[in-house]
Amino acid sequence: MSLIFLALTILILVTNMAAVAVVGHRVTGNYAVSKLAGVLLFCLLLFFIEHYIGLGSLAWLWPLTTAASAYCIYRYRSHFINALWCAELVFIVGFLYGLTWKLAFPDIDGGSEALTDLSFVSNYLAGTQLPPEDNWLAGNSFNFYYAFQHYCAALMGRMLNLSVGYSYNLACAVVMAFIVSLTWSVASTWCRNKLLKLILLVAVVAGGTGVSPFVPFMYDYPTETQGQQAFAAQSKLWASVRYIGKYDAQVKTDFAKDTFGVAPKETLEMPLETIGYLTFLSDYHPPIGSFVLLLLALACIYQLEKVSTKLRQQQVLTGILVSTGPLVLITNTWVLPLQALLVFGWLAYRQLSGRNLCVKSVIIGGLTPLLLAYPFLFEFTSNALSTPLKLVSDDQRAPLAQWVLVLWPQLTLLALAGFVCRRMPLAAYFLAMAALFLLLTELLIIDDPMGGKYDRFNTTLKWWSWTQVFVLVGLSGILLANKFKWLRWLTLLPLLALSSYSIEMANYFLAEKKESKNKLHGHHWLTKDAVNRQILEYLTAAPRGVVLEGLERTAYTPSSALALFSNQASFAGWPSHEKQWRGNAEFIYERGRDTQAFYKGQLENSLDWLQKNNIQYIVYRASDRAQNKQGWLQIQRQVARDYVWLPFKEHGDERYGIWQRKVQGSF
């Protein structure tokens, strides 16, 4: 039954987005661009409206949009069949690729930033007036984080009446579909060789870094059992993207030590975050959204460079290209400087080459998303974490050998682009911009609260990763279409090197256990335990309230999962994350400390504390008992006056369930 539901959901999604693309293709000339631009416009309009009035559930909307979409596709069926079906097929293949990963590994747990992203989606799922309540810090507004892509995921869930976990996982597949279709669109502009385009696609979607082809020879992990094979593949996937400052000091083979040396342990950590890595990690984090907007900009640029593009299409494409700047501001603010330079650099290139600048389109494309996002920006700019720029000092630079080893594929493509700049001015634009991006990453740091060995962590994580996609897609689309065979072959070298990461992804996919296979709700890791499942079912059906859960650590913990999956508000969330985002507000850590003291039975005046914080539900699970064997009895003595115990398992001295606040006249 669940597979039938999934198939129908996919059919509805594909039909609606295909209609958007079919209609939009008439004004852009590019199927992939029109599909994404249309979806973004729809989401942005509702994002604007809901800052004034919450629209609640939108489940009534999909029958109307699907009927209209089916009519549009039928009306333009001859054009679709003759010219557009291949582009739609690429989108579907990308969607199925992303969905395959999510079906195999659908768990949304505390091992990475997955619960963080789930909390963002859950904030928007109720459809209340924006900014919504922060479900990770009950009683506070969610107005400090760039989360437009999470709003889009929640909007899809509201229209299709999906759970928060289902919305999260399906959104990951949709994003992958856009990445694949846009990359293929750029590669297909001038390159006709399908094999070359496929290699580029693999390098972008499942690629690693310059370290990736050497990783199998640098680390020696046991692989006798399936568990060891999965761990080895996972470790190698991490080594490729977390090399400088971490895995470069952990090389194990004589070959690696003799060839690359062992880096000093005090080196700053300078990671990347590739699309392949994020796919393996199963996170719906903002970098993935910025990759999509970057690819949208590149697809517009390539389409604008086609001789056959009409003036009307140029105007629309220019507007879409410019709009990616403001959209990045509300999707992943970290890379706004790079996206802005890309757009303004292209406008300068266009002006210098004597081409039509479409000034009205530039103005409309820039102002429209800014105005629609203004209600969000009004709150966001007042509450977001301050992150000024500062200069990189000499002792913060990566060792040259490690720097070259990680970035050599990008550097190789830049060198090859130098051979075609005279014949292809667009290559000169990409070359100049990429060199500028790499230079800025070596000169500037976005000064976030992380310091010490992590001082450059977030800057390189965001900027190097974004630049790699820019270089790969922007330059390879030109180099692979070059008439000189030697240049095409040399271009394949860095692409194949990056694609070697996909081998470890495949090894991990095959070796890792799939205990939650096909369970797209995302909480099987939690609810495979019968007690947790019953608690979640109860909370899902219960009136909305604040949920208190045991807090083992201040981050990367299962705590808050029951609240989020049941669409309730978590009292403490992950305190370290919330504290960092909210300017190191001390009350957030106090919540965490008080929560830990409460579960240990050491919090004074606990009933007053519970009432002051309006806590409706107190969860007690096996993990709480493991921290304190006498925990249940201590809590029961403290709260019995105001709370009723609802048991879901009682066996001997084991008691698991929920304390629920008494309502006058009840219990």
The Cα–Cα gap between 208 and 196 comes to: 18
The Cα–Cα gap between 54 and 159 comes to: 14
The Cα–Cα gap between 599 and 655 comes to: 14
Contact 585, 614 (CB under 8 A): no
Predicted confidence at residue 396, as pLDDT, reads: 87
Contact 656, 648 (CB under 8 A): yes
pLDDT tens, residue by residue, 393-409: 888 888 888 999 999 99
Predicted confidence at residue 264, as pLDDT, reads: 66
Give me the amino acid identity at 280. F
Predicted confidence at residue 309, as pLDDT, reads: 72
Domain that holds residue 640: 524-661
Residue 355 lies in a domain: yes
pLDDT tens, residue by residue, 122-155: 999 999 999 999 999 999 999 989 999 999 999 9
Q: Is 437 exposed, middle or buried (0-12, 13-18, 19+ CB in 10 A)?
A: buried
pLDDT tens, residue by residue, 440-496: 999 998 887 777 888 899 999 999 999 999 999 999 999 999 888 999 999 999 999
Contact 262, 251 (CB under 8 A): yes
Residue 652 lies in a domain: yes
Residue 239 lies in a domain: no
Predicted confidence at residue 660, as pLDDT, reads: 96
Predicted confidence at residue 666, as pLDDT, reads: 47
pLDDT tens, residue by residue, 239-257: 999 999 888 888 888 888 8
> Considering only CA atoms, which of 28, 602, 81 is closest in space to residue 312?
28
Predicted confidence at residue 265, as pLDDT, reads: 64
Residue 344 lies in a domain: yes
Cβ atoms < 10 Å from Cβ of 139: 12
Please report which helix (H) or strand (E) contains residue 226, including its range.
helix 226-241
Residue with the bigger pLDDT between 517 and 631: it is: 517
Contact 560, 550 (CB under 8 A): no
Asked which of 333, 367, 384 is the last residue of a domain, the reply is 384
Contact 328, 296 (CB under 8 A): no
Residue 66 lies in a domain: yes
Residue 645, beta-bridge partner list: 659
Q: Could you tell me the pLDDT band of residue 10, with boundaries at 50, 70 and 90?
A: very high
Asked which of 368, 384, 400 is the last residue of a domain, the reply is 384
Residue 414 lies in a domain: no
pLDDT tens, residue by residue, 421-441: 988 999 999 999 999 999 999
Domain count, the chain: 2
Q: How much is the average pLDDT of 610-635?
A: 93
563 CB contacts (<8 Å, ≥6 apart)?
135, 539, 547, 549, 569, 570, 571
Residue 665 has pLDDT above 70, yes or no: no
Instruction: Kindly state the percentage of the chain with pLDDT values over 70.
Output: 98
Instruction: Please provide the average confidence, as pLDDT, over all residues in the chain.
Output: 93
Residue 505 lies in a domain: no
pLDDT tens, residue by residue, 76-123: 988 888 878 999 999 999 999 999 999 999 999 998 999 999 999 999
Residue 70 lies in a domain: yes
Instruction: Kindly state the percentage of the chain with pLDDT values over 90.
Output: 78
Q: How much is the average pLDDT of 54-76?
A: 95
Asked which of 331, 351, 384 is the last residue of a domain, the reply is 384
Predicted confidence at residue 667, as pLDDT, reads: 43
The Cα–Cα gap between 558 and 529 comes to: 14
